[in-house]
Structure 1
Amino acid sequence: MEVILLERVAKLGQMGDTVRVRDGYARNFLLARKKALRATEANKKHFESQRAQIEANNLTLKKEAEAIAEKLEGQTFIVIRQAGESGHLYGSVATRDIAEAATAGGFTLDRNQIVLVHPIKALGLHNVPVHLHPEVDVKIVVNVARSEEEAERQARGESTVEAREHASMDDLGLEVGAALAEAGDVEL
């Protein structure tokens, strides 16, 4: 199906481009989210008559997104979760959790604006991209910790996961051999 893009779509084209996409992608994503129009003659004429207005609206939205991006860039949001001693979370931190933390921090973000390839499943500081506008992206830091105190230590750069020393097999073998030699069972 051919569609006319109403805004910039990554890996597809700029506003006003007529592109050919699969029918399902057009119906379920582009048309449903009002990112495109079907490329009929009537819609082409309508788009050309409204082009200046659409571009002006897009420019206004872009400027608003850039203003928010300046304040949001590099902000750190704390998410408290339960985790094991190794630092692996019992659950995970998803886009909804990050959006709620940002809202609590004074920024209004929708979970669809947060870009996570995989949910966060470990304690620590995580850089997360936020898609404010098709042309404006920023990165925020999500501090996943067990408590507020632990979050403060992580922010300072301290490790919060207890490092356990594991004995190597050689060390273990020497300890067993020494114990047997003391008992008089084996000569060293």
Structure 2
Amino acid sequence: MEVILLERIAKLGQMGETVKVRDGFARNYLLPLGKALRANAANKTRFEAERATLEARNLERKSEAQKVAEVLDGKSFIMVRAAGETGQLYGSVAARDIVDALAAEGFNIGRNQVELNHPIKTIGLHKVTMHLHAEVEIAVEINVARSAEEAERQSKGESLTSADAIYGVDEDALRPEDFFDPDADRDGDEE
């Protein structure tokens, strides 16, 4: 099915372009959300008549998204979660958790604007991309830790999952001879 795009859509095209898409994508996503019109003569003339208002509205949305991006840029959000000694979370941090953390700070971001291909399942610092507008995207840092104190230590660059942090052992001080005795008889027969 051919459609006229009413806004820029990633990997598809710019506003005003006529593109061919699969019928289901058009019927279930583009048309119901008002992102496109069916490409016929009546809609083409309608689009050309409304083009100026659509471009103005798109420019307004983009400027609003850029303002939010300027405030969010470089921010770090702390997520306190229960985790084992190795840093593996007992649960996970999903896009909705990130949206809730942003909402607590006063940012109105939709779950579909958070690009998180897989839930976060380990403690540590994670970069998450936000698509605030088709042309505006930023990365925020999600600091997942077991407590606020650990999150602060983690933000300073300290690793909480290394052998030193878990067992109180300095990894650099470990030597192979601490674990392996070269003089030991391995085959079991006495000579």
Give matches, 1:1-188, under 5 Å: 1-163=1-163, 174=181, 177=184, 186=190
Identity across matched positions, percent: 57
Q: Could you tell me which amino acid in structure 2 is paired with residue 174 of structure 1? A: D
Once the two structures are overlaid, the 10-residue window that deviates more, 164-173 or 6-15, is 164-173
Aligned mates of 1:175, 1:89 — CA distance in 2: 39
Q: Could you tell me which amino acid in structure 1 is paired with residue 157 of structure 2? A: G
Once the two structures are overlaid, the 10-residue window that deviates more, 10-19 or 35-44, is 35-44
Q: Could you tell me which amino acid in structure 1 is paired with residue 184 of structure 2? A: G
Structure 1 position 47, deviation (Å): 0.7
Asked whether the 8 Å contact 1:62–1:136 carries over to 2, the reply is yes
TM-score (norm 1): 0.88
Give the gaps of 5 or more residues in structure 2: none
Structure 1 position 106, deviation (Å): 2.1
1:117-161 deviation digits (Å, cap 9, x = unpaired):
111111001111000000100110000011111111111111112
Structure 1 position 177, deviation (Å): 3.2
Aligned mates of 1:61, 1:176 — CA distance in 2: 73
State how many pairs are aligned.
182
Asked whether the 8 Å contact 1:77–1:105 carries over to 2, the reply is no
Aligned mates of 1:96, 1:176 — CA distance in 2: 57
Give the gaps of 5 or more residues in structure 1: 179-184
1:48-89 deviation digits (Å, cap 9, x = unpaired):
110000000001111111111111111111111111111111
Once the two structures are overlaid, the 10-residue window that deviates more, 161-170 or 108-117, is 161-170
Question: In the superposition, relative to structure 1, how do residues 32 and 168 fare at CA in structure 2: closer, same or farther (>3 Å)?
Answer: farther
Aligned mates of 2:101, 2:142 — CA distance in 1: 9
Q: Could you tell me which amino acid in structure 2 is paired with residue 69 of structure 1? A: A
Q: CA RMSD in A?
A: 2.5
Once the two structures are overlaid, the 10-residue window that deviates more, 101-110 or 126-135, is 101-110
Hey, which bits of structure 1, 4+ residues long, moved more than 2 A? 164-178
Asked whether the 8 Å contact 1:79–1:143 carries over to 2, the reply is yes
